[in-house]
Amino acid sequence: MRVLITGGAGFIGSHVTRALAAAGHDVSVLDCLHPAAHQPGSDVREVHGVPVRRGDLRDRDTVESALAGVDAVVHQAAMVGMGVDLADLPAYVGNNDLATAVLLAGMARLRVPRLVLAGSMVVYGEGAYACADHGPVRPAPRELADLAVGQFEPRCPHCASLLDPGTVDEDARLDPRSVYAATKLAQEHLTAAWARESGSAAVALRYHNVYGPGMPRDTPYSGVAAIFRSALERGEAPQVYEDGRQRRDFVHVTDVAAANVAALASLDARPPGLRAYNVASGEPRTVADMAATLAAAMDGLAPVVTGAFRAGDVRHVVACPRRARDELGFTAQVPFAAGLAEFATAPLRA
C-alpha cells in the first residue's frame, strides 16, 4: 500500500515510518519540522531511508502534491504537550485542527479513502471514577483552591467523597480539559465527519503516555519521561508534581508503531466511519513510580515530590486496552521496567 505519513520525521512518526516500511508498505513522509519537535534550523532529509518532504499541512498545494497516488494516510503530525500558556492557543489550533482540515479536504478531492489518526488519551479529561455511594460518576475539573492546599484527588459531585479511579474505555464521555486536548478531540470530530461524508474508513489511536528513543529533550512540549531524564542527566533530582500518586499508562513508542501497522491493516475490512482505540500497556503506574524507576536505571538522584501542579492536568487516566486487542490484534509487548532501562541510555532528540 502507498502510505503518506504526516509528521513522519517526529518522535512517534519516525518509529511509525520505520515500522510501516518494514511491513512492506511504500512509505512517503511529509513534515514541517516544527521547532517544538525539532531543533531550530534542522533539515531532516530522510528517516530510516525514507525521503522527507518538508512542507506545511496548512497549505493546500503542498498537501495535494504529497497525496498524489497515495492509498492511505497515517496522520501523526501535531503540536503536542501542555505548552507554555494560552499564548500557544492559536499555534495548537493551526497546527492540529486547521492542518487536519486541509489534509481531509485534500483526501476528499483526491479520493484517498483510508486514514489512521494519531489521537490521544487527553480527550477523556479525567479517567473513570466511582463513588462508594453513588456509583460511576464524572468529577468536575479540580478547583485551584483544592490543588493549592494539596487536595489532589477528585471528589464525588454529589457528596464530595473521595473517588476510586478505574479504567477508561473508548465509549467513555469525552471531556478535554486543556487547549491541546480540545484540539485533539476536534481532530477526531473532523475525521469522523470526513469519513461519513466521503464513505471512507478511519481509525483514531488514542495514545496514552508514550516514551522511548528519540523523544524531544526537556521542552514545554516534551513528555514527562524526557523531562525527568533531562534532569537526571544534569545531575538533578526529577521534580514530581502533586504528590506523585497520579496514575498513567506508559507505553513504549515501538508498541505505538506496531499499533499503527495493525490499524492500517484493518482499514480495508472496515465500513465507512471512525473507530477509536486506546493504545496503552494495560499496566498503570504512578508518575512517582516512573520517576523512581528511571532514576534507578540511571543511577541518579531520587525524585523529589514537590506538590506543584498545573491547572490543565488531570489526576488519573488509565486505559482499558481490550478493544485494540480484540479488534486489531494489538497488545503492547515492552515491559515497563525493561522499557525504561532502555530509555535511560537511548538517544533523545535535541
Q: Which of 278, 320, 309 is nearest to 82 (CA)?
A: 309
Residues forming beta bridges with residue 74, ordered by sequence position: 5, 116
Catalytic residue among 180, 207, 211, 241: 180
Q: Which of 104, 105, 108, 167 is nearest to 136 (CA)?
A: 167
Distance (Å, whole) CA 91 – CA 36: 11
Distance (Å, whole) CA 115 – CA 193: 13
Distance (Å, whole) CA 79 – CA 32: 11
Distance (Å, whole) CA 347 – CA 202: 33
Distance (Å, whole) CA 104 – CA 115: 9
Whether 211 is catalytic is no
Please state the φ and ψ torsions of residue 228, each to the nearest 5 degrees: -65, -45
* Pure H helices in 176-327: 179-198, 224-233, 253-266, 287-297, 322-323
Distance (Å, whole) CA 238 – CA 300: 9
Cβ pair 143, 155 in contact under 8 A: no
Distances (CA, A) of 326 to 263, 266, 323, 330: 12, 12, 5, 8
Instruction: Name the grid cell of 31.
Output: 513534515
Q: Which of 6, 175, 177 is nearest to 78 (CA)?
A: 6
What is the set of active-site residues?
Answer: 180
